[in-house]
A and B are shown apart, each in its own frame.
Chain A
């Protein structure tokens, strides 16, 4: 019997030149941190040191916010059409350099190149194009001219889609006339710093986009800065709550996009093979580092065994390994810290009594890796059914009737996304109507479009990103 192994097919890393040390990007200039301190950024797939980036302190944040205020003077005096043109230019430059960005994203963050190349970068460009189009049509968006930009917006983004989250934040903020101080995640700062070069290439006026790196303390300095007008945060619910507390009583706008524990409901009358694909995509996309991941599989009891058998077989064909190999389906876990968290939760699931299935794939020696994992025989009370694992771990629950499916799906503190699988249209609508989730996908999962608003209910946050609603997150009513 032939065992056909695919030879390595590596996307060349040579297109990217990573500097030994980076600076902040403030007021249109690449400036050394006044803190004189740096943090290391490593490749999660090899644990090699890639570079050092500033650990920005209070003085650095002061300069960045000050630059943002100065930038606002210029930016707000431009015509909407001029702002639009800058955004279009950024979008085109990203397209031109998309391979470079994709490779860097995979090196720094660990995601497979096929995703950074075919998902992240096209989406990044699409978001800039989309909001570039809105920039000179804002008076058409909400039929009122009393909406004004906040001013200087502090933006703190996560490590799962580093450049895409930057695009989700910066594009609408700039389109609505704000300027930004953006802090990329501690473990994935490099594509944001490369984006600073794009701003320079596009000739963006100084101070309109300011990028500062650092850790949680840096983020806190931005949130607590007296001259910041709005905070937009994507990350954990825990940190989101801290930010909300810090801002209480201050005239600072806030939008939060936080955690999730989405239900992916598969009814017995679904197209089973496509549902298996959708469930796999729902949880194993981007190593499961997705806030809207379909991490709870809700199976109708009548198809449980057949579905699980097909799912396990499909999971075995997932290829885990080098993110730069074009045939890799699942890359590296983003950090040691995240790997530990996933491992702990999975161990807890086993102790609680969940039945564990993991694929047989070989894992590389260095770096942070976790096998695609499926839990069956799980009760809704187990922590693996309640807590956001943020890794390639799927938890299966069962239901008997549509009513019960909805009840289990909503039995969570989160409400970001959900999936419904059935070939019966009326059942899709009935179910979607009753789910407390910001986005409900039917017979598909993890689909994004810049024109579609994204955001959560309950502890998954508030405010919307994308679409016409996404503009509102950066505009406030003025008298």
Chain B
């Protein structure tokens, strides 16, 4: 075994390997369970409660080449007060931006409880030497990022070099120290449920605080199935090590109904311990507006047009 420093690693490599090799998933049974959870009928008060949770768990995100300080300012304002006409709607959990925009985002969130998350490690592909990933991450942290979203090395993963995937995350966690680390598996690249489980366990073992489904840059983003595999991995990892990690789902979750289905899954499979922004997040850009519309509809009976809600 290499002589790696283990600031954040939660599990020794040999134990990781053992768990990874035990990854057995029956896709038919898994789909059946996930589909059956989707038939839960969430109405009235429980729906309003769910929608409010979704808002508080959102990482409002913009990750485009066209992002400017002006765009970030708009988004942060919306993150702090998603609906200025309804004070019962909470702030979102965080805004998620590229490292170069962390400074402005940090300035704009001021003393609200909205965190600033930065994607780093050469998001979304991760195809650069390790030195660049470390530098990218260090820059984001020095700019004040509260949370760091990194991508796993899919090249190494698909080549079967799990050790490299693990070592890189360990090294990045070392840079992060206390800064909250979310590790993106990019499930759309991994394809199989076994791969998703393996990548989940490796990322958790290497010290990730969260595991996250997707970058949002692929046509295949998050799915409830992928989330199910990940939550089972988080639970098994907790039962093995006592370390409780969180999950972030991102990419393709566009409406409130879908978001509530994720919450049902977390609630029934993991328990209400995980139903808070410290343990579960949605990466979202368009999701928030649908949730705000649904909240309005539940309270007033009116389904309002988009122009009633401020843009972010």
From B197, which residue of chain A is reached at the shortest CB distance?
A: A273
Q: Are B42 and A277 in contact (CB under 8 A)?
A: no
For residue A464, CB closer than 8 A to chain B, the reply is no
Residue-by-residue, is A112-127 near B (CB-CB < 8 Å gives 1, otherwise 0)? 0010001000000000
For residue A32, CB closer than 8 A to chain B, the reply is no
| B24 neighbours in A (Cβ, 8 Å) | 269-272, 423
Known: A271-B29, A278-B29. A5 touches B41 (CB 8 A): no
- Enumerate A433-468 residues with CB–CB distance to B below 8 Å: 443-444
Q: Are B25 and A271 in contact (CB under 8 A)?
A: yes
Q: Are A114 and B275 in contact (CB under 8 A)?
A: no
Q: Are A2 and B272 in contact (CB under 8 A)?
A: yes
Report the minimal beta-carbon distance from B279 to chain A, rounded to whole angstroms: 10
Query: How far, in whole Å, are A114 and B49 apart by their CA atoms in the complex?
Result: 24
From A280, which residue of chain B is reached at the shortest CB distance?
A: B33
Report the minimal beta-carbon distance from B74 to chain A, rounded to whole angstroms: 30
Q: Are B232 and A443 in contact (CB under 8 A)?
A: no
Report the minimal beta-carbon distance from A120 to chain B, rounded to whole angstroms: 15
| A274 neighbours in B (Cβ, 8 Å) | 25-26, 28-30, 33
Q: Are A1 and B26 in contact (CB under 8 A)?
A: no
Report the minimal beta-carbon distance from A465 to chain B, rounded to whole angstroms: 24
For residue B55, CB closer than 8 A to chain A, the reply is no
From B268, which residue of chain A is reached at the shortest CB distance?
A: A317
Query: How far, in whole Å, are A114 and B40 apart by their CA atoms in the complex?
Result: 9
Q: Are A277 and B46 in contact (CB under 8 A)?
A: no
From B40, which residue of chain A is reached at the shortest CB distance?
A: A327
Report the minimal beta-carbon distance from B300 to chain A, rounded to whole angstroms: 18
Residue-by-residue, is A274-314 near B (CB-CB < 8 Å gives 1, otherwise 0)? 11011000000000000000000000000000000100000
From A277, which residue of chain B is reached at the shortest CB distance?
A: B33
Q: Are A114 and B39 in contact (CB under 8 A)?
A: yes
Report the minimal beta-carbon distance from A233 to chain B, rounded to whole angstroms: 32
Known: A4-B275, A5-B46. A443 touches B41 (CB 8 A): no
| A443 neighbours in B (Cβ, 8 Å) | 26, 28-29
Q: Are A4 and B263 in contact (CB under 8 A)?
A: yes
Query: How far, in whole Å, are A2 and B30 apart by their CA atoms in the complex?
Result: 27
| B43 neighbours in A (Cβ, 8 Å) | 7-9
Interface centre among A269, A277, A443 (most CB of B within 10 A): A277
A444 CB contact (under 8 Å) in B29, B239, B273: B29
A4 CB contact (under 8 Å) in B26, B28, B239, B267: B267
| B296 neighbours in A (Cβ, 8 Å) | none
| B276 neighbours in A (Cβ, 8 Å) | 1-2
Q: Are B49 and A271 in contact (CB under 8 A)?
A: no
- Enumerate A244-273 residues with CB–CB distance to B below 8 Å: 269-273
Report the minimal beta-carbon distance from B204 to chain A, rounded to whole angstroms: 16
| A9 neighbours in B (Cβ, 8 Å) | 41-43
Report the minimal beta-carbon distance from B198 to chain A, rounded to whole angstroms: 14
Q: Are B29 and A7 in contact (CB under 8 A)?
A: no
Task: Determine chain B's interface SS by DSSP, over half rule.
Answer: helix
Residue-by-residue, is A168-192 near B (CB-CB < 8 Å gives 1, otherwise 0)? 0000000000000000000000000
Report the minimal beta-carbon distance from A428 to chain B, rounded to whole angstroms: 12
| A4 neighbours in B (Cβ, 8 Å) | 46, 49-50, 53, 263, 267, 272, 275
For residue A3, CB closer than 8 A to chain B, the reply is yes
| A272 neighbours in B (Cβ, 8 Å) | 24
| B267 neighbours in A (Cβ, 8 Å) | 4
| A271 neighbours in B (Cβ, 8 Å) | 24-26, 29
Known: A4-B49, A9-B41, A271-B26. A277 touches B275 (CB 8 A): no
Report the minimal beta-carbon distance from B196 to chain A, rounded to whole angstroms: 13
Report the minimal beta-carbon distance from B299 to chain A, rounded to whole angstroms: 15
Q: Are A7 and B232 in contact (CB under 8 A)?
A: no
| B53 neighbours in A (Cβ, 8 Å) | 2, 4
Report the minimal beta-carbon distance from B259 to chain A, rounded to whole angstroms: 14
Report the minimal beta-carbon distance from B265 to chain A, rounded to whole angstroms: 11
Residue-by-residue, is B32-60 near A (CB-CB < 8 Å gives 1, otherwise 0)? 11000001111111110110010000000
Q: Are B29 and A1 in contact (CB under 8 A)?
A: no
Q: Are B41 and A277 in contact (CB under 8 A)?
A: no
Report the minimal beta-carbon distance from A83 to chain B, rounded to whole angstroms: 36
Q: Are A7 and B30 in contact (CB under 8 A)?
A: no
Residue-by-residue, is B261-291 near A (CB-CB < 8 Å gives 1, otherwise 0)? 0010001110011011000000000000000
Query: How far, in whole Å, are A8 and B46 apart by their CA atoms in the complex?
Result: 9
Report the minimal beta-carbon distance from A443 to chain B, rounded to whole angstroms: 5
Residue-by-residue, is A390-433 near B (CB-CB < 8 Å gives 1, otherwise 0)? 00000000000000000000000000000000010000000000
| A92 neighbours in B (Cβ, 8 Å) | none
| B33 neighbours in A (Cβ, 8 Å) | 274, 277
For residue A326, CB closer than 8 A to chain B, the reply is yes
| A114 neighbours in B (Cβ, 8 Å) | 39
Known: A4-B46, A7-B47, A272-B24. A277 touches B272 (CB 8 A): no
Report the minimal beta-carbon distance from B62 to chain A, rounded to whole angstroms: 28
| B32 neighbours in A (Cβ, 8 Å) | 277, 444
| B273 neighbours in A (Cβ, 8 Å) | 1
Query: How far, in whole Å, are A5 and B40 apart by their CA atoms in the complex?
Result: 12
Query: How far, in whole Å, are A423 and B45 apart by their CA atoms in the complex?
Result: 43
Known: A269-B24, A272-B24. A327 touches B232 (CB 8 A): no
Query: How far, in whole Å, are A6 and B232 apart by their CA atoms in the complex?
Result: 23
Q: Are B42 and A6 in contact (CB under 8 A)?
A: yes
| A317 neighbours in B (Cβ, 8 Å) | 268-269
A423 CB contact (under 8 Å) in B26, B239, B272: B26
Report the minimal beta-carbon distance from A3 to chain B, rounded to whole angstroms: 5
Report the minimal beta-carbon distance from B227 to chain A, rounded to whole angstroms: 14
Report the minimal beta-carbon distance from A198 to chain B, rounded to whole angstroms: 27
Q: Are A6 and B46 in contact (CB under 8 A)?
A: yes
- Enumerate B130-170 residues with CB–CB distance to A below 8 Å: none
Known: A114-B39, A270-B24, A444-B28. A7 touches B272 (CB 8 A): no
B29 CB contact (under 8 Å) in A2, A118, A277: A277
Q: Are B39 and A7 in contact (CB under 8 A)?
A: no
Query: How far, in whole Å, are A4 and B265 apart by their CA atoms in the complex?
Result: 12
Report the minimal beta-carbon distance from B70 to chain A, rounded to whole angstroms: 36
Query: How far, in whole Å, are A272 and B19 apart by their CA atoms in the complex?
Result: 13
Known: A1-B273, A278-B29, A443-B29. A118 touches B39 (CB 8 A): yes
Report the minimal beta-carbon distance from A9 to chain B, rounded to whole angstroms: 4
A-B contact pairs, 25 of them (CB 8 A): A1-B275, A4-B49, A4-B50, A4-B263, A4-B267, A5-B46, A6-B40, A6-B41, A7-B43, A7-B45, A7-B47, A8-B43, A9-B43, A118-B39, A271-B26, A272-B24, A273-B232, A274-B26, A274-B33, A278-B29, A326-B40, A327-B41, A443-B29, A444-B29, A444-B32
Q: Besides the contacts A4-B272, A443-B26, what 17 more A-B pairs have beta carbons closer than 8 Å?
A: A3-B272, A4-B46, A6-B46, A7-B42, A7-B45, A8-B43, A271-B25, A273-B25, A273-B30, A273-B232, A274-B30, A277-B32, A309-B239, A326-B39, A326-B40, A326-B41, A423-B24
Interface residues of B (CB under 8 A from A): 24-26, 28-30, 32-33, 39-47, 49-50, 53, 232, 239, 263, 267-269, 272-273, 275-276
| 8 interchain residue pairs of minimum CB distance | A274-B29, A9-B41, A271-B26, A326-B41, A274-B26, A7-B44, A7-B46, A271-B24
